[in-house]
Structure 1
């Protein structure tokens, strides 16, 4: 189906090349003389711990670019303040922490194409970080690390059951059946959180949204997605998982800590919470690579992110990349070390973050901390980074949550849930005048 793409043209990619704001921080006009001193750019984000500290260290380290870090109250506040500034055409920064999917920034005409500024720096970043920053082959975001998924499992639970840890999703289901005979769930699927389905679909090569010329291609029913849905269906039909909600964290951690759940997929930033709240099973956990699908050509790790972007109208994307590149340097990473806790953020955007992984492996949680560190680094090396979320993510994601919840509850199949979401997306794009076709 093809319809008038007026909204796409006027507020999407075409607008990125034509809209110019006169008051973007650090900007000037082509007719003005070159300013003396460093180029000043304003950066917006909600990093209350180290955002300003990092900017100050950058300013002290060089004299070409000066960063003013404007702390925002939250993700939501950043979005609101940015939209207000953009609509007013004044006070727009030159770099904004990503508060939504990158395609949303492009379709709304907020993010500019910074390909020329990013290209010279590509070697500084991992493949996943570069992929995450692109829309339709062009850079509309700055290279940004995606947090690679891996599997943690309770070694005591597996030892008691006399089972090996599965390495494929197909084995995962069969292992779950064996564990169920002993009253143990192999994992947890919360009824409000479809991220596991999204992760497996991404890992299986799904492409829910793609750009084909002047239209979107929408396909929630491609081979990769249905492969992921079949795994979910077997887990649910055979009652191999629990459905503990993430909305009650104390109860969730108590369940994870009980030994009645054998494994969970996770990412590095969740480990501190496990260490703090899972005292009973501390030392029993091990990390391993996330299971692959049988027949996979090479190991891949699901992972997505919301890259920071350079708004339309900022005339200094090269200055922005000077700052972003410095953040990926040893000096820049060290500048982000929290002065109170001594912790440093795991630099998932660089090709080899192994020098920093010890900072994110919690003491006493893993049976083998060195092995856990290796798994975390390997997950980053294989992270996909890119999973297109289309022009109306804010509309369809709540629908996916609703349909996912019904599937988890056994009210419909996961394939039926995906069909319902695709139908919803089609109707939503029709209503918004966005051109698309449905994949087959």
Structure 2
């Protein structure tokens, strides 16, 4: 126990030593160096058995300066375990590690290199949300990663049947939900095991649960933006406006969504096909709409968090790694190489500053009925361009998120209020930080 305690203390001290919040101005980053004197070979890790290898092969064939060796891992979980072992042994360290958690975790563990000088000259290729997700105190410790932004599917047939407009604000969402309830329809589903809606709405409202301040963390899960989100959700729960179908029983979940008893579904672009595949009765009745905003919002904002990949400490060819990753993320050749051979599908490159070229092509052909794919694509593009990207999750995310799930479940079951749940989670976080010897203060 004492050894582990000292290790965490040294990590906290390392944060301060790195100068994450120095308060000092920094000089403009130099132009990105060309790839390290080559030819060089770099190892790139990942767990995708198909498309990533296609991208790597295309890159290797396109030039002779850098050779990428793709090291396939068994799974996301196996990647995390194997990477931790490699970093502890300091042997066979790759030059690219895909994102498996918050970039702050990678930095706190001493894993992520500062790659600002390589990313700064090319950052405008990436959305503001993608850049924000990869930065800590204005420095790039991760590579820009695009969050899958939230938009909504509304069952148009349901709204038209009862003469209701699809709500454009969260406040209208509650009012509309009360009217729908009189017809036996719920406005949205809030699974008892999944607090993602709370996290997304808090982020959208401008909440900041964790901040780094010198050598300590600031913690506040009860700030004004969070309570704004909490209030909306609490009203929906108190008035029984929402369903609580679990994601652990997918057939039952899809059946309920398809039944006409649910009016609205928040989603990201990648989940559209799953709904089309599993819907029958309501197929063609849905339309893509913007995610509701808070009524006092000054600009349109969508939620979305990304876990950026990074160049590990110990990689001796960081410029080569960034050259490959940037090519893979932005070039037409790479995007084409990443096409799924079985389905012919290309995903939305959510990290790009403008995704409008790609969104229409990922829209399924049946679920949205008469709504043109181009119109659905515009909804997706609008969400992606407005994605926040950044939502700091602190140094002990793995510890506190299960607690949030537990407290959220109790709130959904009306055993406690959601405000009480957030106070309980904050108390859990501070106690855990105290136990681990990590400096913090609770923001007011």
Flag whether TM exceeds 0.5 (same fold). yes
* 1:354 has 2:339 as partner: no
TM-score of the aligned structures, taking structure 1 as reference length: 0.93
Equivalent pairs, count: 422
* 1:422 has 2:426 as partner: yes
Unpaired stretches in structure 2, ≥5 consecutive residues:
21-34
CA distance in 2, matches of 1:434, 1:250: 43
**Structure 1 residue 146: deviation in Å?**
0.5
Which residue does 2:341 correspond to in 1? 339
Structure 1 residues 53, 264: CA separation in 2 closer, same or farther (over 3 Å shift)? Answer: same
CA distance in 1, matches of 2:19, 2:326: 23
Unpaired stretches in structure 1, ≥5 consecutive residues:
18-33
**What pairs with 1:169-188 in structure 2 (closer than 5 Å)?**
169-188=170-189
Secondary structure of 1:40's aligned partner:
strand
**Structure 1 residue 92: deviation in Å?**
1.2
Which residue does 2:11 correspond to in 1? 8
Which residue does 1:22 correspond to in 2? none
Structure 1 residues 44, 13: CA separation in 2 closer, same or farther (over 3 Å shift)? Answer: farther
Secondary structure of 2:237's aligned partner:
helix
Structure 1 residues 13, 114: CA separation in 2 closer, same or farther (over 3 Å shift)? Answer: farther
Secondary structure of 2:148's aligned partner:
coil
Which residue does 1:210 correspond to in 2? 211
Conservation of the 8 A alpha-carbon contact between 2:39 and 2:66:
yes
Aligned counterpart in structure 2 of residue 387 of structure 1, from 375, 388, 391: 391
Which residue does 2:43 correspond to in 1? 42
Conservation of the 8 A alpha-carbon contact between 2:55 and 2:334:
yes
Conservation of the 8 A alpha-carbon contact between 1:7 and 1:434:
no
TM-score of the aligned structures, taking structure 2 as reference length: 0.92
Structure 1 residues 251, 16: CA separation in 2 closer, same or farther (over 3 Å shift)? Answer: farther
* 1:373 has 2:374 as partner: no
CA distance in 2, matches of 1:104, 1:335: 31
Conservation of the 8 A alpha-carbon contact between 2:209 and 2:219:
yes
Structure 1 residues 11, 74: CA separation in 2 closer, same or farther (over 3 Å shift)? Answer: farther
**Structure 1 residue 194: deviation in Å?**
0.3
Conservation of the 8 A alpha-carbon contact between 1:168 and 1:294:
yes
Secondary structure of 2:262's aligned partner:
coil
Secondary structure of 1:384's aligned partner:
strand
**Structure 1 residue 374: deviation in Å?**
0.8
CA distance in 2, matches of 1:151, 1:340: 28
CA distance in 2, matches of 1:371, 1:393: 37
Secondary structure of 1:302's aligned partner:
strand
CA distance in 2, matches of 1:212, 1:250: 46
CA distance in 1, matches of 2:309, 2:430: 28
CA distance in 2, matches of 1:226, 1:7: 34
**What pairs with 1:42-121 in structure 2 (closer than 5 Å)?**
42-121=43-122
* 1:243 has 2:247 as partner: no
Aligned counterpart in structure 1 of residue 439 of structure 2, from 423, 428, 435: 435
Secondary structure of 1:210's aligned partner:
strand
Structure 1 residues 63, 14: CA separation in 2 closer, same or farther (over 3 Å shift)? Answer: farther
CA distance in 2, matches of 1:14, 1:271: 45
Describe the superposition over 1:159-187 as per-residue Cα deviations: whole angstroms up to 9, x where unpaired.
11110000000000000000000000000
Describe the superposition over 1:97-123 as per-residue Cα deviations: whole angstroms up to 9, x where unpaired.
111111111111111111111111111
CA distance in 2, matches of 1:187, 1:35: 52
Secondary structure of 2:305's aligned partner:
coil
Conservation of the 8 A alpha-carbon contact between 2:112 and 2:312:
yes
Secondary structure of 2:359's aligned partner:
helix
